[in-house]
Structure 1
């Protein structure tokens, strides 16, 4: 399946770099570019991309507002924020607007490409530091940890699945988990799919929260 991608950033050089990365991949098709939120909304209406790669700080209509309008008009379209600003003042409004993922611009190219693919598949791509903050905040709000055996689905996990889950909870990417456990990235992805199935967690954030809550 080819993933249709719309790039939104007010810096031409950034857009050019993103386009080069995406166009080198056979499964990604850059269908358009915008340098502000207003054009992003218009082009989403016209081009119907699968994934919008969205900057936040732009002149006129900003990325958070554009994300909310795009998601309201096109619920199937996924928006991945790619920004320099990963503080909570930018993170939580973007998530509230409907962004499914949040990556910082110093992410490795492979992480960005993987994030676009994850978004298209319905997952939630986050930079490691952002994921750790989301997990920490959710766990803090929900109280003390719960024994792993009492958390739905965790008692049925294999030893290797528990290892992978613990590293997801630390905010590690698939490649970092693969390196840490001496596994292939494809094997890690298979374990994460199995973890989501067994626990009912819809995305990586929920898996991270489960890991932290259970002390996995």
Structure 2
């Protein structure tokens, strides 16, 4: 079954280049294209792509705000931020909005396809050029007080849940976690649901960010 892609990019040359390039790969199909974030949101209201390649700086509605709206409509849609901007604030805002991956536009097409497949498997992906930013930003916030709700939630996780959260933050999907810990896939899924509930987040990406913040990896 093909992976259905929506490309949200306001520059025609970049958007058409992505469409042309991705057409060469089996099991990947570009089904929609949007020139701004609002168009992407409207498309999602009518149909459900598997993955959105989302630019950040777009007219009408930027990629970060569009990601927030799309995740509220359908949290199962995976969103890969594909941008030229690597400022710390934008990186953190993208993941806080629910993005599943953050890529720079100079990424090699073969690598982008690997990111698409990685995200489809349920894993988080961070471009190596901005991974240090994530750690720096989140570690700078690690001096939270013990009455901070997120810190209390992390403390309330069981040892097994903390172990699984660490693996999520390291990019493993549920199947990989099950194999590594010798657990059934069903058991891992139950643990992941419990982690998301206890941390009061909407998905595993946000759970992974908290894992980074709490120095669990």
When normalised by structure 2's length, the TM-score is: 0.67
Deviations 1:40-72 (A, max 9, x none): 111112231010100011111111111110000
Paired positions, count: 174
SS of structure 2 residue aligned to 1:118: helix
CA distance in 2, matches of 1:209, 1:64: 21
Question: Is the Cα–Cα contact under 8 Å of residues 139 and 213 in structure 1 kept in the other structure?
Answer: no
Match of 1:102 in 2: 102
* Structure 2 stretches lacking a partner, 5+ long: 144-158, 161-166, 183-187, 193-203
When normalised by structure 1's length, the TM-score is: 0.67
Match of 2:176 in 1: 193
Q: Displacement of 1:193 after TM fit? A: 3.1
CA distance in 1, matches of 2:178, 2:135: 17
* Structure 1 stretches lacking a partner, 5+ long: 144-151, 154-164, 175-188
CA distance in 1, matches of 2:3, 2:42: 19
Deviations 1:89-127 (A, max 9, x none): 211111111111110111121221111111222111211
Q: Displacement of 1:84 after TM fit? A: 0.4
Match of 1:88 in 2: 88
Distance 1:197 1:140, change over 3 A: farther
Deviating beyond 2 angstroms after TM superposition, the runs of 4 or more aligned structure 1 residues are 135-143, 192-203
CA RMSD of aligned residues (A): 3.4
